[in-house]
Amino acid sequence: MTELFRRLALSHQGLISPPAFGLGLSGTLQAIRHLGYVQIDTISVVERAHHHILWSRVPDYQSHYLNQLVQQQHIFEYWFHAASYLPIQDYRYALPQMTSVRNGEHRYFNRGDQHLMNEILAKTRAEGSIRLRHIEQGNRSNSGGWWNSSSARRSIDQLFMQGDLMICERNGMEKVYNLTERCLPNQLDLSMPTLEEYARYLFNTTLRAHGIFTWKQLLHLKVGSQIREAMRQIINEQLDAGVIITLSQLGYTDKESPNIYVKTEALAQKPHLELEVKILSPFDNLVIHRERLRTLFNFDYRLECYVTPAKRSFGYFCLPILYADQIIGRIDCKAHRTQKQFEVLSLHLEDHCFKNKEIDHDHLLNALNNELHRFAQFNQCPQIKNQPNQLFKQAVKQLS
């Protein structure tokens, strides 16, 4: 894939300097609104994904910003393709899934105990907010024993997913819930979107956040012929209007090109990139769609924390390394917060990025060191264990 398309993708993702979304709390809000969602993840080997993703785009990002934006009713937590922070103005597009859960149609969120769910709502209405541990602690003496941890968790999860409760705060990964009616701003549009409106929301979000995208990306984890047909009509409409163009229309003839779309007006842009390094989260919006990532950046990526140690090639939590407009490798790190140490476990470089290319190794290593120190500080670990210099030299020698 050409340099233009890679830069177009990076520009739309806000990964080109200077900061595309501004700084501070307002920059964080603008980033979430532009991206459409920021995925939440519980793994804490390094700073959790939702903080990492925003830090990559808002240089002075602080982790307490998300709670502030939730409390100010600018963003909310719900499900995109996974648990995410979303702009509050998109709340109505969560209503179809909430209704599906309420109707018992969801595969996973349909096992709450109705009696306990009623008790949770009554307790929340009386006390103002609630946490899972409050339910568990309050019912340990129940002689029946059925209000156990699993039942409480399933019940509160179902209330959240069907829209009766919202998460109004997080302390670490502990969630604080309140009634939805108390968390939503006044005058928010709560009308149920039509199928066409929902498909257009998915299309517009992807167009805005990515600029170049695939058919599979548009419908990621969305099933059913009706949503596919609605999206197909929107694609045809946007092609006819000249808003988007396929790669095959631009002269690309590989088998994927008819299903890859480019925002037409973006083709006239020539984004300028600095020779900088960014260490990305495995759940970053740029890399989460693995097939698109492979097509655009020739980067075959799998998060190996989900496989057994014997099957890992690169490490438990390897992070993609973006250098200018290429993903040139991956780095496995661990934040030892108690010891204030940031450990670099391994470094691997992509062979194709260094073949027949004039990459200044000294400049790349210097940029990597600068980013690594910045990342370590973000992880509250000012000391770096295993500076990457020697690992970098070893990785270069291993290039075929």
Residue 3 falls within a domain, yes or no? no
Residue 303 falls within a domain, yes or no? yes
Residue 333 falls within a domain, yes or no? yes
Residue 385 falls within a domain, yes or no? yes
Query: Tens digits of per-residue pLDDT, 171-217?
Result: 988 999 999 999 999 999 999 999 999 999 999 999 999 999 999 99
DSSP secondary structure letters along 208-254: HHHSEEEHHHHTTT--SHHHHHHHHHHHHHHHHTTSEEETGGGT--S
Query: Tens digits of per-residue pLDDT, 219-231?
Result: 998 889 999 999 9
pLDDT surpasses 70 at 339: yes
Quote the number of domains for the chain: 1
- Whether the CB-CB separation of 112 and 154 falls below 8 Å is answered with yes
Residue 50 falls within a domain, yes or no? no
Chain position carrying tokens 């097509």: 295
Under DSSP, the state recorded for 262 is E
Letter for the amino acid at 83? A
For the segment 85-91, the average pLDDT, to the nearest whole number, is 98
pLDDT surpasses 80 at 139: no
Reference 400, options 370, 357, 364, 355; nearest CA is 355
Query: Tens digits of per-residue pLDDT, 111-137?
Result: 889 999 999 999 999 998 999 888 866
Residue 322 falls within a domain, yes or no? yes
Start-end of H helices in the chain: 3-12, 24-35, 49-55, 65-71, 95-102, 114-127, 132-138, 149-161, 180-183, 195-210, 215-218, 225-240, 290-297, 351-354, 361-378, 388-398
Tokens of 377: 């500080």
Q: Domain range holding 309?
A: 298-398
Q: Distance between CA atoms of 306 and 362, rounded to whole angstroms?
A: 34
Residue 56 falls within a domain, yes or no? no
Residue 86 falls within a domain, yes or no? no
| 253 torsion bin: left (phi>0), alpha (psi -120 to 50), beta (else) | alpha
Q: What is the pTM of this model?
A: 0.93
